[in-house]
Chains A and B, each alone.
Chain A
Amino acid sequence: MNTAAENNPARIIKLAIMAVGGQGGGVLTNWITDLAQRSGYMSQATSVAGVAQRTGATIYYIEMTPQSVRQPVFSLMPAAGDVDILIAAEMMEAGRGILRGFVTPHRTTLIASSHRMLAVSEKTHPGDGIAYNDKVIEAAAKAAQRVIAFDMEKIAADAGTVISASLFGALAGSTALPFALENYEETIRASGRGVDASLAAFREACNRATNQNINDAPEDEHTQPITQDVARGPDKLLHRWQTLQDRISNLPEPVRDMAYSGLKKVVDFQDTNYGTEYLDHLIHVVHIDESNGGHDRQYLLSVAAAKYIANAMAYDDVIRVADLKTRVGRFSRVANEVGVNDQQVLRITEFMHPRADEICGMLPVGLGRFIESHPRLFRGLDRLVNRGRRVRTDSMFWYLVLHTLGGMRRFRRKLLRHDIERAHLESWLETSLSCVSSNYELAVELINNRRLIKGYSDTHTRSLSKFDRVMSARTLIESADDAAGKMKQLRDAALADEHGNELDQFIDKYAKDIK
């Protein structure tokens, strides 16, 4: 330690709070300064309030030292390498604290809630833009003297309060501050609002923190045990289901899990015969896979096909949506999510916006095609149906409407949408499989491209256009080195932005390369 500190044992405890605007960092700051005062410490708190607080990253800073005759000179902002306790109200904010140098080995106690509040950039990404916690948790373990991390948001929410209470509890449990537990609780009581809920969250978090040993690895994201239950239904259907399952057990081992998930999805979507169709498609791929060295490649092609054939077959049409919205268990799921009890009444409103396209998709192939090929007729139909509809699925009338639409499952194979989807599936599979013998990895990537197709209406159309662009770029890269890698790159680019601008740049680049 430096000489000044040796000559003068008085030391300042430095505590920084990294939070997201609106999380209640100000409340926590007030509690801590109040706690310090109760415990015979002088303290100073600062923050940067204002517009920066609106949902953005914010920081609060507190310095404390035992009461003395002389007034210490407190600093107004944390400095890198000079923070004793860092409280992060969200995991990425802990990461930001580490990045800013506020977490130092042999010194800093890092108290972090392991939950995530996603930043806008993580949410708007058309693919999966969520940043992974594990790197931050790893860095925290190295950067801090001690890490106390668990889901403090959940503890707070369960107690019906906000995260400041559980963060305060974790701080108490960490014993990083030389203050008595009674003073913490007294501070909460003195604040006078929602005291019981705050105390409950405080105590729960305090216990959790106490039990988390020094440098205990923060808990992993909750892994749910896979519960193997059974299918239910009429005997005849259960028998068919068993037959389908038996076919899966004949598949190569690496393919079975995915095939089972896929089978479940398509049967749930349509019926057991549809499951048979699915397995026929899949087994066709498995044969091709086997004859092209699939065994040595862990049947990558078949696994990809098991996944994406199922997704392609269980397309998102009106019937599926109506079916899902009217099923047994859906009401209780919603009730559960919003927390409705027996003394309350729940109403559910759905937001639907059908267009002529969707209506034609629900018509028999011939009729649907006829309307689509007559623009005036099509426009007329569109004028008739194309508007937002707020549908009350808890009401008798609208429930019956959706129930009936869901019941159209029986005719689905004869409808236009099914015809379109089936053709699309076949052409995609054929294209993808055509290059298995020449480039196995590329074939896998072509199968994987099916990931690009998602959304409804315009979003769906846009995703189809991206899919087409990526698929047709095959000819540009086929003969290049690492064609599979390039194909994956194209797909990632397609997922990077809404309109596929990055994708177009890559395509242009590859087109130039080929010249």
Chain B
Amino acid sequence: MAERSFKKEVQQLKIGKGEVFRGEGILAITKALLECGVGYVGGYQGAPISHLMDVLADAEEILSELGVRYQANASESAATAMLAASVHYPIRGAVAFKGTVGVNVASDALANLSSAGVTGGALLIVGEDYGEGSSIMQERSHAFAMKSQVWLLDPRPNLPSIVKAVEDGFELSEATSTPVMLMVRIRACHVTGQFTARDNRRPPLTCAQALDNPRRDTTKVVLPPYSYLQEQDKIAVRWPAATAYIREHHLNEFFGGANIRIGIVMQGGMYNGVIRALEQLGLADIYGDTRLSLYVLNVTYPLVSDEFLAFCDNKEAVLVVEEGQPDFIEQAFGAMLYKAQSHTRLFGKDVLPMAGEYTGQVLLKGIREFLERSAPELLPAESIKASRNVEDQVADIAKVVPMRPPGFCTGCPERPIFAAMKLTQTNLGEHQIGADIGCHLFASLPPFGIGGSTMGYGLGPASNGAFGGSASKRSISIIGDGGFWHNGLSSSISDAVFNQSDGVVMIVDNYYSAATGGQDVLSSRADNKSKSTKHPIAKALKGVGVKWVRQIDRTYDVKKVRDILEEALTTRQKGPKVIVASSECMLNRQRRERPIRNNAITQGKRVIKQRFGVDEDVCTGDHACMRLSGCPSLSVKRLDDPLRDDPVASIDHTCVGCGNCGEVADAAVLCPSFWRADVIHNPSRWDLWLARQRGKYIGWLQARRQRNRLDLTGA
């Protein structure tokens, strides 16, 4: 079960012509796919596409009613390979994943697909994770579109435009035999809005029907001589078809135009930000009416040369607003203007930054500078004052406000694994540790500071390949269950087995692809109606020939994790040593168990709830426990005691009683400050009787001692 349920929202996917759809961008895309008669959908989760995959999973019933095949692919590569169905068959297919990382993984299939060309519309929906809140390296998917000749759509970020882009994408794909990439930025994926729906369409040819009537065409195989012919076809046929289609169907848009001397060209996704900047400069209203002329590239690849040159005709200056680097679009436009011997001045990355997200401030500054240099008379006499006088006071708090990077959730089962790893390093010294992609990467931040590299999803152990030889210390690599099934088994584990690598692999198994929102994977323990789960990782490891495998079924046992890790690092056994550390993601576990538990309590059943706490007069405020935890519910507080300098540990009501505090205090021999309270709800009569007897006995002992002692609590 995914972290977020869309069961309620997906009902909107059923609405028909004329009804108004309200919701997130990602849900709108799903609806648009159904309206376009898509025959199969798939993809791989990862922000901002996770919600799309969750929507598809929750909408499986609706999809199958329409005869649409849904595949939760093993990786982006698998998803893109699935588009092969559109190569020979006139079936529309769509897959979704995040960019650029997903496109990286998919690039092999993508290159083959685009070389062969498609018959049915093939759409790749790429959630571009760039800028604030991004969790990946900052690159552009644009380069992949250019290299493999895949058309790239970048629609204006509102629901009607995004929905239209889905349809345009399929049409363009079919008109040009070329796959199309629909790029949606992270905020546009989550933007809320509305559009007028159309009826859903059953695919004219379903995958099942195609399967019963197979077709083949040797010219679609990427093999000489066809591969050469395919390249020629791309340039001689598909490209001109694309530019013609884009022009004729007005996929790119023109706005404004009262002032034709100055223009701005932008990626569709930049439109709202540009309008806002113009509004702030007094050059546009909130509906987007402006005196400048705007050329909006809803298709950012291929660029339509004559359309652009016509826009520039008679213009003194044109600004290109293109987010990210390199500046592919600006370079192309520069070349076009040069070859056309144009006198239009081209602005772009000279007034706007080459790298980084184009936020409101960035666009405002860049556009103002463009206008100052090209048409200063357009700027309002009194340029708006962004309240700079506050800045001095603000600088003051810059030192105060702490950084707050993401970290492990309350009760996370990965925390004790890294606490154990930190303790192991205390005993056996620092080790070479390779990290991977997933929640476990938070271990590289304080308080753990474990792992210094990421080479890609499922590539943690592979990244330690060079350190597979024997030395007095062994390398450690980390990989999650998500990464393991995505790519890790083949690229990391088999690599280590085949090369007889001597390193240690820690597989962090939390029952889900947790970082992306708790989607099921092969080893998930959940019952999943349409997917096959409960395939143990340990079995797969043994299957590919790992000899030394240790399964840990409760990661909170810090001592056990530490001891097994130490054994792995010191055993004489050759070949990779793989530890599978399994405990359920606490976020998902709480979501699953809490309602059941609360229900049981209301029904009068005996339920034990656990929580941890700290005796503040025992805690000395050394914070050693914090350095092995970082749990949000374990914090520190200042005491109202003039004798105490440093704040003491304190656990708040959000504690889920995972046990890490007690385990760590024990394993690291920290201090006796922690206690665990077990509260028995609806206790049995035996519980109550026993508690009464104990109470009497303890009360008697306490009273006895108290008689000979000063009680200064009130003094």
Q: How far is the CA of A335 from the CA of B618 in the complex (A)?
A: 17
> Known: A56-B404, A123-B623, A351-B674. Contact between A232 and B679, CB under 8 A?
no
Which one, A4, A128, A237, contacts B282 given CB within 8 A? A4
Determine if B211 is an interface residue (Cβ-Cβ < 8 Å).
Answer: no
Q: How far is the CA of A265 from the CA of B715 in the complex (A)?
A: 11
When the two chains form their complex, are residues B286 and A10 in contact, meaning their CB atoms are under 8 A apart?
Answer: yes
When the two chains form their complex, are residues B393 and A233 in contact, meaning their CB atoms are under 8 A apart?
Answer: no
Determine if B371 is an interface residue (Cβ-Cβ < 8 Å).
Answer: no
When the two chains form their complex, are residues A73 and B286 in contact, meaning their CB atoms are under 8 A apart?
Answer: yes
Determine if A190 is an interface residue (Cβ-Cβ < 8 Å).
Answer: no
- Residues 326-348 of A, flagged 1 when their CB comes within 8 A of B and 0 if not, give 11111100110111100111111
B193 to chain A: closest residue by CB? A44
B667 to chain A: closest residue by CB? A388
When the two chains form their complex, are residues A394 and B694 in contact, meaning their CB atoms are under 8 A apart?
Answer: yes
Question: What are 5 A-B residue pairs whose CB atoms fall within 8 Å in the complex?
Answer: A46-B187, A73-B272, A131-B400, A316-B618, A339-B679
When the two chains form their complex, are residues A46 and B380 in contact, meaning their CB atoms are under 8 A apart?
Answer: no
Q: Chain A residues near B636: list those with CB within 8 A.
A: 118, 122-123, 130
B286 to chain A: closest residue by CB? A72
When the two chains form their complex, are residues A265 and B679 in contact, meaning their CB atoms are under 8 A apart?
Answer: no
Q: Chain A residues near B712: list those with CB within 8 A.
A: 231, 264, 267-268
Q: Chain A residues near B687: list those with CB within 8 A.
A: 345
CB within 8 Å of B: which of A114-164? 117-128, 130-132, 135-136, 138-139, 142-143, 157
Tell which of B86-94, B111-119, B142-150, B273-281 binds the partner: B273-281
When the two chains form their complex, are residues B445 and A120 in contact, meaning their CB atoms are under 8 A apart?
Answer: yes
Which one, B390, B401, B670, B682, contacts A459 given CB within 8 A? B670
When the two chains form their complex, are residues B396 and A135 in contact, meaning their CB atoms are under 8 A apart?
Answer: yes
Q: How far is the CA of A325 from the CA of B613 in the complex (A)?
A: 13
Q: Chain A residues near B622: list those with CB within 8 A.
A: 126, 454-455, 459, 463
Determine if A251 is an interface residue (Cβ-Cβ < 8 Å).
Answer: no
When the two chains form their complex, are residues B387 and A48 in contact, meaning their CB atoms are under 8 A apart?
Answer: no
- Closest Cβ of chain A to B260, distance in Å, is 19
- Closest Cβ of chain A to B407, distance in Å, is 5
B194 to chain A: closest residue by CB? A42
> Known: A44-B193, A340-B679, A456-B671. Contact between A73 and B710, CB under 8 A?
no
When the two chains form their complex, are residues A455 and B715 in contact, meaning their CB atoms are under 8 A apart?
Answer: no
B412 to chain A: closest residue by CB? A54
When the two chains form their complex, are residues A82 and B360 in contact, meaning their CB atoms are under 8 A apart?
Answer: yes
- Closest Cβ of chain A to B61, distance in Å, is 23
Q: Chain B residues near A180: list those with CB within 8 A.
A: none
When the two chains form their complex, are residues B626 and A124 in contact, meaning their CB atoms are under 8 A apart?
Answer: yes
When the two chains form their complex, are residues B642 and A136 in contact, meaning their CB atoms are under 8 A apart?
Answer: no
When the two chains form their complex, are residues B646 and A454 in contact, meaning their CB atoms are under 8 A apart?
Answer: yes
Tell which of A97-105, A203-211, A280-288 binds the partner: A97-105
Q: Chain A residues near B286: list those with CB within 8 A.
A: 8, 10-12, 65, 72-73
Which one, B46, B632, B688, contacts A22 given CB within 8 A? B632
Determine if A514 is an interface residue (Cβ-Cβ < 8 Å).
Answer: no
Q: How far is the CA of A465 from the CA of B191 in the complex (A)?
A: 56
State the main secondary structure of chain B at its contact with A.
loop
Q: Which of A81, A130, A157, A229 has the most CB of B within 10 A?
A: A81
Which one, A49, A329, A456, contacts B51 given CB within 8 A? A49
> Known: A50-B135, A80-B386, A459-B670. Contact between A346 and B679, CB under 8 A?
yes
Q: Chain B residues near A8: list those with CB within 8 A.
A: 285-287
Tell which of B170-178, B322-330, B496-504, B696-704 binds the partner: B696-704
Which one, A45, A132, A396, contacts B191 given CB within 8 A? A45
State the main secondary structure of chain A at its contact with B.
mixed
- Residues 678-715 of B, flagged 1 when their CB comes within 8 A of A and 0 if not, give 11111100011001011001100111011111111111
Q: Chain B residues near A92: list those with CB within 8 A.
A: 400-402, 404
When the two chains form their complex, are residues B698 and A230 in contact, meaning their CB atoms are under 8 A apart?
Answer: no
When the two chains form their complex, are residues A119 and B360 in contact, meaning their CB atoms are under 8 A apart?
Answer: no
- Closest Cβ of chain A to B279, distance in Å, is 6
- Residues 635-664 of B, flagged 1 when their CB comes within 8 A of A and 0 if not, give 110101111011100000100000001100
Determine if B183 is an interface residue (Cβ-Cβ < 8 Å).
Answer: no
When the two chains form their complex, are residues B683 and A344 in contact, meaning their CB atoms are under 8 A apart?
Answer: yes
Q: Which of B132, B390, B407, B517 has the most CB of A within 10 A?
A: B390
B609 to chain A: closest residue by CB? A338
> Known: A119-B403, A230-B715. Contact between A46 and B190, CB under 8 A?
yes
Q: Chain B residues near A218: list those with CB within 8 A.
A: none
Q: Chain B residues near A130: list those with CB within 8 A.
A: 636, 638, 647
Q: How far is the CA of A61 from the CA of B516 in the complex (A)?
A: 22
Which one, A71, A95, A125, A403, contacts B623 given CB within 8 A? A125
Determine if B192 is an interface residue (Cβ-Cβ < 8 Å).
Answer: yes
Q: Chain A residues near B632: list those with CB within 8 A.
A: 22, 55, 117
Determine if B428 is an interface residue (Cβ-Cβ < 8 Å).
Answer: no
A265 to chain B: closest residue by CB? B643
Q: How far is the CA of A324 from the CA of B713 in the complex (A)?
A: 12
Tell which of A255-263, A416-424, A427-435, A500-508 binds the partner: A255-263
Q: Chain B residues near A451: list those with CB within 8 A.
A: 645-646
When the two chains form their complex, are residues A58 and B133 in contact, meaning their CB atoms are under 8 A apart?
Answer: yes
Which one, B190, B380, B408, B643, contacts A261 given CB within 8 A? B643
When the two chains form their complex, are residues A81 and B627 in contact, meaning their CB atoms are under 8 A apart?
Answer: no
When the two chains form their complex, are residues B714 and A232 in contact, meaning their CB atoms are under 8 A apart?
Answer: yes
B651 to chain A: closest residue by CB? A337
Q: Chain B residues near A143: list those with CB within 8 A.
A: 390, 393-394
Determine if B354 is an interface residue (Cβ-Cβ < 8 Å).
Answer: no
Q: Which of A2, A123, A224, A344 has the most CB of B within 10 A?
A: A123
- Residues 282-307 of B, flagged 1 when their CB comes within 8 A of A and 0 if not, give 11111110000000000000000000
Q: How far is the CA of A44 from the CA of B276 in the complex (A)?
A: 14
CB within 8 Å of B: which of A25-75? 33, 43-59, 65, 70-75
Determine if B359 is an interface residue (Cβ-Cβ < 8 Å).
Answer: yes
- Closest Cβ of chain A to B619, distance in Å, is 9
Determine if B620 is an interface residue (Cβ-Cβ < 8 Å).
Answer: yes
When the two chains form their complex, are residues A128 and B647 in contact, meaning their CB atoms are under 8 A apart?
Answer: yes
Determine if A375 is an interface residue (Cβ-Cβ < 8 Å).
Answer: no
- Residues 35-67 of B, flagged 1 when their CB comes within 8 A of A and 0 if not, give 000000000001110110000000000000000
Determine if A178 is an interface residue (Cβ-Cβ < 8 Å).
Answer: no
- Residues 438-451 of B, flagged 1 when their CB comes within 8 A of A and 0 if not, give 01001001110000
Q: Chain A residues near B410: list those with CB within 8 A.
A: 22
A69 to chain B: closest residue by CB? B287
When the two chains form their complex, are residues B691 and A345 in contact, meaning their CB atoms are under 8 A apart?
Answer: yes
Closest A-B pairs by Cβ, 9 of them: A79-B360, A50-B47, A48-B133, A229-B714, A388-B666, A56-B406, A2-B282, A454-B620, A455-B622
